[in-house]
């Protein structure tokens, strides 16, 4: 895979996800449910690239999400990196069963992979504040609310991801994905 | 980029990082976080401005007032970093406002509780009757103390008994010269209590229903994992339903000694144990809080030890 293209795509995905969150948020939704373009990117790469490349891409993308959000979250780093690596892993396990060129595939895989990823993220963040662990609990953290909001985001992201292959398929030549799988 | 070993090590490092106190990981990752923020500002703020223009007042996080939106858009053209600072400043003020609002709400609740106590007491002054504990009975059915003061001293049923700052129980039976006190840790007792810091330095409190531990050594409840409860917090009785004597409302029932995950849902709930400030089964002296009027009405005599 061409890592420069991945880096540029990651930058665009992060900028769109954060910059256009208000524009794309579902009106009157709790905490402004908006799609995650980074999750779509990780799923897209995991569907096309080799195993180790996919896992590293998921980890790097998650770390970027952690770092960019770090200034707002007071320096919490690691949860999204682990979660997005798990997204890549989950998609790698399932991609043999699907027709990767289909438009719907990206949407469905984003949703399914995202389920695992977000469960891992919520688990990691919920562990904070548990006895014997040094990390303090997150202020105002409510696991049920988080799961509900993230599930709504996943559905939204899955729908958006179903449309994006129309654009992404035209960029395949830039990515340098292996042609024989 | 390949190899499972580096990937595995990176995942372990990230797992450790994710469970560090925010201050530590923030310090460790300060440079990468600031670098990412710096790199992201141009793209993110440009798109945010587009978003603000097309759909004002619907940004993720707190909605911005129109004058701030206009000022941000104007600033963003000249100096994106200053725009970001202005936005951060707004968020900080918003958070401070929220903390103060919560504090005011907590204080209003406390005032309401104290007002209820005052209304219940009316204008009747309180008398404090010192009594010696002559015996203690503890068992699976009842936990009581016997005091050496009775009706002759002004003690009456449904009076509050305290030891120092700690609520001990209520008087349930009175004879001429002795009285029986049911401990707050008697089996089957349930009560509501507000948990909060001892010095009221932080605007946090939570009201929970407590049950008595099987061994009677304290109280237990389960709260949401994110509930703002810490070891050392004091538990004050909340008696909205008037189940306890009036003077008992708001009294300390104990201090939070243990917070752990011994629940059916350790990811969602934590178990909070409150232990009385003093061992209620080993008290030598206690104080009965008598309302002067109540003692006369119910006891029929105004004798006493004062």
B contacts of A81 (beta carbons < 8 Å): 14, 18
B contacts of A23 (beta carbons < 8 Å): 50-51, 54-55, 58
Tens digit of each residue's pLDDT (9 = 90 or more) over B112-170: 777 766 776 666 678 889 999 998 887 667 889 999 999 998 899 999 999 888 999 99
What is the rounded CA–CA span in Å between residue B158 and residue B249?
Answer: 13
ipTM comes to 0.82
The shortest CB-CB distance from A127 to any of B19, B45, B50 is to B19
- More confident call, B176 vs A179: B176
The shortest CB-CB distance from A32 to any of B52, B60, B224 is to B60
* Band of pLDDT at residue B76, cut at 50, 70 and 90: low
What is the rounded CA–CA span in Å between residue B40 and residue B42?
Answer: 6
- More confident call, B46 vs B160: B160
- With an 8 Å Cβ cutoff, are B226 and A140 in contact? yes
Q: Which residue of B has its CA nearest to A72?
A: B88
CA B133 to chain centre: 31
Number of A–B residue contacts, CB under 8 Å:
174
pLDDT average, residue stretch B73-99: 73
Lowest-pLDDT choice from A141-145, B188-192, B259-263: A141-145
Mutation target among B60, B73, B95, B271 for the A interface, most CBs of A within 10 A: B60
A contacts of B62 (beta carbons < 8 Å): none
Closest among B162, B159, B163 to B171, alpha carbons compared = B159
A contacts of B47 (beta carbons < 8 Å): 15-16, 18-20
Residue A55: the pLDDT is 92
Residue B121: the pLDDT is 64
Single pTM value for the model: 0.51
Between strands B269-275 and B285-291, the pairing is: unpaired
Three-class secondary structure of residue B180 per DSSP: strand
Tens digit of each residue's pLDDT (9 = 90 or more) over B227-237: 888 888 889 99
- With an 8 Å Cβ cutoff, are B7 and A20 in contact? no
Tens digit of each residue's pLDDT (9 = 90 or more) over A130-153: 777 777 777 667 788 888 889 999
Helix (H) or strand (E) holding B234: strand B234-238
In this predicted structure, the answer to whether residue B261 has a pLDDT above a threshold of 70 is yes
- CB neighbourhood size of B97 (10 A): 11
Q: Which residue of A has its CA nearest to B31?
A: A67
* Band of pLDDT at residue B300, cut at 50, 70 and 90: very low
* Band of pLDDT at residue A6, cut at 50, 70 and 90: very high
Residue B49: the pLDDT is 77
Between strands B252-260 and B269-275, the pairing is: antiparallel
Let me know: does A153 contact A36? Beta carbons within 8 Å. yes
The CA–CA distances, whole Å, from B296 to B101, B155, B169, B204 equal 45, 10, 21, 41
A177: exposed, middle or buried (C-beta count within 10 Å: 0-12, 13-18, 19+)? middle
B contacts of A63 (beta carbons < 8 Å): 14
In this predicted structure, the answer to whether residue B295 has a pLDDT above a threshold of 80 is no
In this predicted structure, the answer to whether residue B200 has a pLDDT above a threshold of 70 is no
Tens digit of each residue's pLDDT (9 = 90 or more) over A40-75: 999 999 988 898 899 999 999 999 998 888 766 666
């Amino acid at each position: 895979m061409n890592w420069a293209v991945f880096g540029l795509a990651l930058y665009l995905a992060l900028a769109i996800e954060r910059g256009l969150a208000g524009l794309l948020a579902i009106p009157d939704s709790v905490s402004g449910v908006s799609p995650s373009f980074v999750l779509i990117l990780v799923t897209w790469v995991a569907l096309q690239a080799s195993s180790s490349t996919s896992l590293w891409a998921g980890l790097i993308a998650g770390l970027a999400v952690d770092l960019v959000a770090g200034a707002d979250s007071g320096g919490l780093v690691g949860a999204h990196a682990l979660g997005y690596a798990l997204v890549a892993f989950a998609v790698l396990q399932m991609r043999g069963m699907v027709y990767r060129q289909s438009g719907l595939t990206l949407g469905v895989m984003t949703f399914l992979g995202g389920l695992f990823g977000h469960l891992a993220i919520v688990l990691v963040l919920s562990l904070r504040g548990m006895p014997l662990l040094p990390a303090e609990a997150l202020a105002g953290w409510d696991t049920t609310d988080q799961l509900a909001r993230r599930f709504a985001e996943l559905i939204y992201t899955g729908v958006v991801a179903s449309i994006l292959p129309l654009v992404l398929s035209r960029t395949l030549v830039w990515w340098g994905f292996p042609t024989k799988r | 980029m390949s190899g499972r070993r580096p990937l595995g090590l990176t995942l372990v490092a990230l797992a450790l990082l994710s469970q560090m106190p925010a201050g530590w990981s923030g310090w460790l990752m300060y440079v990468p976080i600031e670098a990412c923020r710096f790199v992201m500002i141009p793209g993110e703020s440009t798109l945010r401005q587009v978003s603000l223009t097309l759909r004002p007042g619907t940004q993720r996080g707190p909605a911005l007032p129109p004058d701030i939106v206009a000022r941000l858009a104007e600033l963003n053209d000249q100096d994106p970093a200053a725009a970001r600072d202005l936005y951060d400043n707004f968020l900080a003020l918003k958070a401070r406002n929220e903390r103060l609002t919560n504090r005011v709400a907590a204080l209003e609740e406390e005032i309401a509780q104290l007002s209820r106590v005052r209304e219940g007491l009316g204008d009747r002054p309180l008398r404090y009757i010192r009594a010696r504990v002559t015996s203690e009975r503890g068992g699976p059915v009842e936990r009581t103390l016997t005091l050496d003061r009775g009706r002759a001293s002004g003690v009456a049923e449904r009076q509050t008994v305290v030891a120092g700052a700690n609520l001990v129980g209520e008087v349930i039976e009175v004879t001429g010269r002795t009285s029986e006190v049911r401990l707050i840790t008697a089996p089957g007792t349930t009560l509501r209590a507000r948990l909060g810091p001892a010095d009221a330095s932080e605007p946090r409190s939570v009201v929970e229903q407590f049950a008595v531990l099987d061994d009677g050594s304290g109280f237990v409840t389960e709260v949401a994992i994110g509930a703002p409860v810490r070891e050392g917090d004091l538990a004050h009785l909340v008696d909205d339903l008037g189940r306890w004597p009036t003077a008992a409302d708001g009294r300390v029932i104990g201090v939070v000694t243990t917070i752990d995950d011994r629940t059916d849902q350790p990811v969602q709930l934590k178990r909070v144990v409150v232990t009385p400030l003093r061992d209620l089964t080993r008290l030598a002296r206690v104080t009965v809080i008598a309302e002067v009027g109540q003692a006369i009405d119910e006891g029929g005599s105004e004798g006493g030890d004062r």
